[in-house]
Amino acid sequence: MENHCSAAVIVRSERTNKGNALIPESVYARLRPLLQFIAVDLADPVRGHGSDAAQEWTPEMNARRVTLINKKHDKGLTPVPALSRQIL
């Protein structure tokens, strides 16, 4: 099904009543890093930011935070590191 519509289309299964969104490939290409980040977080919530467990702040986490802040000011961030910086 190829058309040049820019809006998302929801396709719903009659059997399960579950919906799936179809989005243009150009939109998917832009969202892919974020979707991958979310998929990893959902697959391992203990390591991800969605965890309720308190994480101890480590020197490695601080180094990563500083690196992301410096990168932001030097070149700008892609969506995934930007989200990672917000979490830290």
- pTM for the model: 0.37
Mean per-residue pLDDT for 27-35? 88
Phi/psi at 22 (nearest 5 deg)? -105, 125
Residue with tokens 């390591």, as numbered in its chain: 47
Mean per-residue pLDDT for 16-43? 85
pLDDT for position 45: 62
Question: Residue 50 in contact with residue 37, Cβ under 8 Å?
Answer: no
Separation between Cα atoms, residue 87 and residue 82, nearest integer Å: 9
Does residue 4 carry a pLDDT above 80?
A: no
pLDDT for position 34: 87
Phi/psi at 79 (nearest 5 deg)? -55, -40
Mean per-residue pLDDT for 43-70? 71
Mean per-residue pLDDT for 58-82? 76
* Mean per-residue pLDDT of the chain: 75
Tokens standing for residue 41:
């977080």
